[in-house]
A and B are shown apart, each in its own frame.
Chain A
């Protein structure tokens, strides 16, 4: 399956991947409208780790054997057997954070902005043409492909 890989050495720490991730998951898909007017504010699902000069993004790797899915008490998280993606069905999520406890990469985020607590995770921009974080990285520090060798 195709997913996102990162190149820490060329990450400049601009956080545009996170900004555009939020846009991708906004209602308007418009960067200005999304950040100025949308309530609740759309949130990114990619984490940028930063201890300068070190910076790198750490998106969900859609594990072959996903610990988050194994830990999920509600069935909200599942591995799509066709696409290989680790999918989160928010309508089933109760915000218990078992997946936060289980993900070895810290890639599942509790959405604290909303009264009804649920988690957020990367869906590889499902329904959109191409992952926004990869498309908008100004320095090619995020790439998309099925193996490290065939990334775009």
Chain B
């Protein structure tokens, strides 16, 4: 039986973050990565760009080909972990092999959610999460004319843009009354819906698929609103579900995802978790929750890596935040999504130019920025995230946030130089 100081289950953002975190602290300890996928670590977030032809196959990899070698990692790829034996500190693989560990990271990710609709097992139905998915879609594209995308979230809309550019007739179905409802407010959703309409993508909200028709392939779908659409390619993009089957009945606490503390440790000592399978701390809400986003998975993994290697660090980096773009319109949101439904608890300011598709909105509570949406003007958005993360009282300069040129110049002197103290030399005159 092989054994490693550090064992990581999963081989995506969280795993890579963990490896890089460990190696910042411990250059010697043996690390292994187990993944049921046989590929070198690749970026799921790049799948739309790959399908679009913006990057070639070689560039879908998240790290250079010599990554495992350079970081002293034993890649156990194409191997599925099936059982956790916490008492003996061993992981059992599908082929019966057992792998021992000192510290364990669970970075098992998520699986695409499939709504309970009969017929989603047909051969031209795809999800949009793995390299296998996208290679399948590529093949199915030949001769396809009508694409139906179930889900008007970030991934569904990115897929819609790509397929439209490939010349297909694209229909997006969103069960909610508007697209992107979990991440932006009504106004921003409206701008995006207009944008897709202008680009010839049909977006139907408040509806979903009632029935799938066809033999071994989908030919048509009937919607709950009675409409019927021709369909040569059906894409399901309605979110991911944490993959927690490995920890079932192990005593590791699971809520919606694997529960972690601020050091990314689970309820069992020396077992850590991060990424789409885990609930992690949100610095805006102050609670632990599922936020399945690439950067959060990476940093969660990195913080886990530091702690696994003996350096105590807390994960206070993440909140719900998305950088997205559709037909060259850029949108960045972060923090709490303040909409008409939850507006009561917040003060909000905004600026809207609907014709030019420019929108900025900021929501505050007791002078602290709790959330924002930027549409069309996203430059320097990280400054806003920084103000949010540092819980800066913005009351003295809140109106300046609405200006697209907002920057450190707009902060009170003392606060500005405090935040930039590592960069500036003051007192030279």
Q: What is the interface of chain A, defined by CB distance below 8 A to chain B?
A: 5-10, 47, 49-51, 54, 56, 58, 61, 67-68, 70-71, 73-75, 91-92, 94-106, 108-110, 116-117, 143, 148, 151
Contact = CB atoms under 8 A, between A and B. Distances in A.
B: contact size bracket: 35 or more
Interface string B42-54: 0101100100001
B383 A74 contact: no
Contacts of B424: 5-8, 56
A103 B382 contact: yes
Contacts of B45: 73-74, 96
Nearest to B64: A75
Centre residue among B49, B382, B383, B420 by max chain A CB count within 10 A = B382
A97 B425 contact: no
B69 interface: no
Interface of B: 17, 43, 45-46, 49, 54-55, 59, 61-64, 294-295, 298-299, 302, 317, 321-325, 328, 330, 332, 334, 378-383, 385-386, 389, 407-410, 420, 422-429
| Chain B residues touching A, majority SS | mixed
Q: Can you list the 7 inter-chain pairs with the closest CB atoms, starting with the nearest? A: A106-B380, A104-B386, A73-B45, A71-B295, A103-B382, A49-B409, A51-B409
Nearest to B390: A104
A5 B45 CA distance: 35
A94 to B, nearest CB: 5
Contacts of A67: 317, 382
Contacts of B429: 9-10
B109 to A, nearest CB: 15
Given A58-B423, A94-B49, A96-B45, A101 B325 contact: no
A47 B407 contact: yes
Given A104-B382, A105-B382, A117-B325, A75 B63 contact: yes
A10 B323 contact: no
Contact of B425 (A6, A58, A96): A6
Given A5-B423, A7-B424, A101-B323, A73 B378 contact: no
Contacts of B330: 97, 110
B59 to A, nearest CB: 6
Nearest to A4: B423
Contacts of B61: 75
